[in-house]
Structure 1
């Protein structure tokens, strides 16, 4: 049969092809040239993902169970590689209805309690208080070192951790869980006077901060300094190594 001939690149963008490059076979085959097919269609505009979609993707990737996912595929068979006949290739395909092995961002509609686990309490879980708007709050008193680390758990279950997507995270970042993982990832409330600490967050030992956790569609954890409100300073811990 006739082979394809590529001798004019660029299409309409580079103008018509020089007549001296036309071949008799093109006329004999009645081969259509680019002009026959109208203008080049506009490329579809790429849709930007919403913040909600981005947060969902992050949580799904971080809670994905690779071992459980192995059960979502069936083996089609073992075949010789097309380009290397001595090598065998196993072909698998996903089941039509696959179980998703990542955590859902959606609340389950059940009643739950939430506890906060932080450095000021020597990482002993403390009950958060339910607010009238459905959020959960807890006041933190800044200790001698002027910074605190913490994460949340659900229903007093240490395997149901709620934590930020990266270590030493600021507030209002993608939040993961409840999930048995992320053991190095915690929120970091820094009250020290540093370049990367917002001015309104800088505090001294005894200053209070209100932590608020909300879960409507997305999980969100924030905090704010309670100006003029102070409490008993938690004692620091010191170790000799």
Structure 2
């Protein structure tokens, strides 16, 4: 705080709190002005600590932030703040078209050698969003350093995945970023608790008609620059049930992951060969632990929960995965509000007021047509 606006003395606490609110709202951590060199007596190499010297984007759209204040009179206060990015003032970034993304080089002729920890004894395995990150499946050895797996696109029309060496969660292969495209470098092996699901490959079968404007000049002495829209389509676009062949390529020390459509699925096939999705309720009454919903009919799921006193908030997730959260478009919503997802979790919930111990039956309905478009509805009733 002092490096940004100076020493506020008596108002330091409230100034820090206001700064924190704005930081959460914009999703940006302010840098420390004039910080050029750390004290050499500070050993922070083993601490999960980042000294920001410039504005830094938060890793998640919703975060917890702590604020501390120590008064001259001996009054010490610490607050935990929770909130998310206000997308009305800071719109989410547009994805970069795959054609414009920088590609890392992969040398198919090889060179160098992988360390012993990176060489499998039992083979490579794949784990992903289609199974709720719970069921690793073996990849097939195609020879010449290539290992493959056939993925069936689910009803969300996208999937995320990581790779395991020898089916071990202590040997996770992953990209260096979240939702990485094909052709990116492979990192690891790394322990799962160090990467979690924040470094994944992302197979996106949704249509992408991203447009950018290219500047062209007219011929002649009076040339005028004219913007023309260029449209990039998604080469991986596919309906639910589309098959993709995922491949891990290894040549010496070089590794990369690619995928391509295996073959077209019959029109209207809604991932019939893929695992059946499960849905879970996560609410404030039990600190957002997952409670599995019961399928009562095709596309309809229910769950009975015990509420706590006061306002109760909840979301629904697909396959118990916070990267596949289902939530209303507005915060503290009722049952008539439009629904978004499955997508990365955002700080928007359904709200129900109750007394302690009151029972609530939550019903979730989701129907998917042949184009992969889904209609969702959330209802509830007190028992």
Please report the TM-score for the alignment, with normalisation by the length of structure 1.
0.52
CA distance in 1 between partners of 2:185 and 2:233 (Å): 19
In structure 2, the CA distance between the partners of 1:194 and 1:220, relative to structure 1 (3 Å rule), is same
Shift of 1:236: 2.8
Gaps of 5+ in 2: 1-44, 47-111, 211-231, 267-271, 282-313, 315-383
Q: 1:182 aligns with which of 195, 200, 205?
A: 195
Please report the TM-score for the alignment, with normalisation by the length of structure 2.
0.34
**2:120·2:166 contact (CA, 8 Å) conserved in 1?**
no
**1:144·1:235 contact (CA, 8 Å) conserved in 2?**
no
Matched, 1:209 2:244: yes
> What is the SS of the residue equivalent to 1:131?
strand
Alignment match, 1:237: 278
Give every structure 1 segment of 4 or more consecutive aligned residues whose post-TM-superposition deviation is greater than 4 Å.
none
Deviations 1:69-93 (A, max 9, x none): xxxxxxxxxxxxxxxxxxxxxxxxx
Shift of 1:151: 0.2
Alignment of 1:45-194 (within 5 A): 106-108=113-115, 110-112=119-121, 113-123=123-133, 124-180=135-191, 181-183=194-196, 184-194=198-208
CA distance in 2 between partners of 1:205 and 1:114 (Å): 26
Name the one with the larger strand percent: 2
Q: 1:195 aligns with which of 209, 216, 237?
A: 209
Shift of 1:121: 1.9
Deviations 1:105-141 (A, max 9, x none): 8423655311001111221111111112221100000
Shift of 1:219: 1.2
Gaps of 5+ in 1: 1-65, 68-104
**What is the number of equivalent residue pairs in this alignment?**
139
CA distance in 1 between partners of 2:114 and 2:233 (Å): 32
**1:115·1:155 contact (CA, 8 Å) conserved in 2?**
yes
Shift of 1:201: 0.4
> What is the SS of the residue equivalent to 1:189?
strand
**1:142·1:208 contact (CA, 8 Å) conserved in 2?**
yes
- Structure with the bigger RCO (C-alpha within 8 Å, sep 6+) is 1
CA distance in 1 between partners of 2:120 and 2:201 (Å): 25
